[in-house]
A and B are shown apart, each in its own frame.
Chain A
């Protein structure tokens, strides 16, 4: 039996405002419990919420970036439920009239095809606080620092067909919110997390299967593992004659499995209604146009420009525009080198990316900055060193923090471009290997590589490869 997976994601991105969505408290992460919660956050009697305009601007930025409809009139509603970390007994969110509706994002799949993922809506809401259980024997603590932190909840259409697609989409949103500077994207701190609605159906079926909602996934890896686990679980149930029940499930990263939190019957009736403490958010065209004017170049636009202006492949352009910082780094290298954008791309995506990955560093923490990398690439372009030597130079730059020229000088790595010196080295190698020479001349063309290697060894890799090839061919021919 062939099965098809159907996934929709609800991504919660914490907006990078300085203060909370309805109060003046700071939103900074990691403060002592309850030091960033004022009377409004604590839900004291008599206090009222006042909307943070910056959160609205950020939501509009997101909406514009996904080509969505920005609602001229959106409404905050109360989602009522009791929980100790929810001080007012309701969460202020948007329900019937969200600020952003009907957008889409394109993701590039593994096979290079593009797929458009619909975004049903994105709405503003406040985060809840946290319950603390560790180190408090017999009691639970409540930390309300996070209560009232602005979130944008981004709800996708059920357009995703595999965990891989879900990750590709989630990464795209992650990249976008950081481009837009509306979210720091820090998943460990919970600034970017998601719930996944997962169901399966027989291939070709029109109706969706019954879905389970998996809560609070805060890493790409967990999303992938949780979805794959859940898909297998559901297929197993159906194949053994059972029925999937609609429920909310929690992913346990330690055990790598999902488990039931509450069934549909146990679900809260949230009794949504418009919050009478807040006026509708009314946005006119000039406000929206004003926000639009401040949008940066977006990833897809930037990638298209890289293909057009730098002659990069779509794949390379996609990699280099995955984050705003990486794109800026690459463009700085190209600007300084002044030519060879493809070679620059190879260096950024190749050795640089590998070293960053090895040391677990972000691009802005790189030990070789854009100017230094450009300094290295320039020496390849002007034939001072070969590409192969450049790899050693890069390693030394990474380790020492010194520039390419200094390392080339210290280590005497300057390429040999003097024809006489290369010819002399060739003659010595030929003289030492008469047998191989005879074999080559009798038709063993493959031995050409052996001679290249021997000459490079003799010149400690410094012979200019192009010159070496030409001269060697001539000499071997006799």
Chain B
């Protein structure tokens, strides 16, 4: 058993063939996690005992002939997903001691499929960040260069998969929080269509944008895991009632005749030239696979960052109101009165970036400002959606860079929120339009990974995974492992 090289697909085969037990596999990963934790800080909570117990149960099920194709495969969850009986912090001091009494629907789905949870992964506080530096539990380090950020907010998920200390991880994406860290860590990330996965039990940041997804080594692994975490959920009105296909059966389909659109606005002056070259190289591979390439324009896309920074803060200012020190989470010591309880509990419990967004959101929803900000942003959002719909009239999938630059040094942008926010300039559009998006590794710049972004029409996960898989058959970028973790 060679953990670093292992994909979920390979591990599932190894387990099925009896090459190793789930307990052995789980123990091996727990060892890797422990060894890497000081350098990466990818985990907030490691659930060794529970993992080994689940693994033993998986082995017992297999012995009885009751194993599914994911039974016994270890994974880890972003700490934004509620996990019954396990601390669920959302990267915040506010929830540092919060033990969830229930499982998120996504967690329950993957548990039901037989996966073994190794622990909870670090993230930007309440998923607000693009560098994983806002976590109350400390920054996560990029396995390719530990002085660098892993991206965010799913930085723990991306770093852990990149370092092969977990085979795969759940993640969430509100404005790029899966795709951007996947790009910066050289792994595969998928944000499904809004409504594809239930948001029940996923601690809300911006409800109309949040979507659960995966960070994996390969598109094939994403295809294996996406099924059990998808589908409509009676507890989430925004989950969509639509049959969940088996994403693995179409992975090998031909790309002949597929039209790829290169979004002009994605190749703007902010894009690093070397980074751009890697994207162009990847497109050449796709052309060899029989796809047609054409340029398209989404003229309103450059408005996506300001639009996002009205809509997302507005929603989070309301979503995070429940953290008031009354029923759960952080409560200040000896409050003098109700106002003091609120002010100090929230003042102490939330970090600076969360506060910045709460204040922005409160402002844009205020009487007299609502029309000028929130309402206008919603209108722009419709324009951006319309741009995408127009582009999909002539293209099957849209391609572009995931982020303007490779990973940057920890601390480099931390005090400059505007520059930090521009990291998500290419990813936010898909969230605003509710579209599925992926990032797949497509090369390196100065030893740091670069990601190719794929955006598809609503519920085109089958086609996106198919395209990504075919590319990964032709390339090995996704199989590269940082030397320190090989």
- Contact surface of A with B, Cβ cutoff 8 Å: 39, 42-51, 78, 80, 82, 84, 87-90, 142, 269, 271-273, 276-279
Contact = CB atoms under 8 A, between A and B. Distances in A.
A142 B208 CA distance: 31
B201 interface: yes
B318 interface: yes
Contacts of B328: 44-45
Given A84-B338, A271-B370, A276-B207, 13 more contacts: A44-B328, A45-B88, A47-B200, A48-B236, A51-B237, A78-B318, A88-B321, A89-B318, A89-B320, A142-B326, A271-B365, A273-B374, A278-B237
B235 interface: yes
Contacts of B329: 45
B82 A45 contact: yes
B365 A50 contact: no
B362 A271 contact: yes
B305 interface: no
Contacts of A48: 199-200, 235-238
Contacts of A80: 317-318, 321, 365
B366 interface: yes
Interface string B89-112: 010000100101110100000000
B352 interface: no
A190 B188 CA distance: 56
Classify the secondary structure of A's interface with B.
Answer: loop
Interface in B367-411: 367, 370, 374
B331 to A, nearest CB: 12
A330 B464 CA distance: 71
Interface in B324-381: 324, 326-329, 338, 342, 362, 365-367, 370, 374
B199 A43 contact: no
B322 interface: yes
B411 to A, nearest CB: 30
Given A45-B328, A48-B199, A89 B322 contact: yes
18 contacts: A44-B102, A45-B82, A45-B323, A50-B236, A50-B237, A80-B318, A82-B321, A84-B324, A90-B318, A269-B366, A271-B366, A271-B367, A272-B365, A273-B314, A276-B206, A277-B237, A278-B237, A278-B238
B237 A46 contact: no
A231 B393 CA distance: 65
Interface string B195-217: 00001111110111000000000
Contacts of B204: 45-46, 277
Contact of A279 (B98, B200, B238): B238
Contacts of B199: 46, 48
Contact of B237 (A42, A49, A271): A49
B315 interface: yes
A279 B237 contact: yes
A87 B237 contact: no
A50 B233 CA distance: 10
B234 interface: yes
B87 to A, nearest CB: 12
A87 B327 contact: yes
Interface string B68-89: 0000000000000110000010
Which residue of A45, A80, A87 has the most chain B CB atoms within 10 A of its CB atom?
A: A45
B234 A89 contact: no
Given A89-B321, A271-B365, A277-B238, A46 B327 contact: no
A45 B203 contact: yes
Given A87-B322, A271-B365, A277-B238, A42 B327 contact: yes
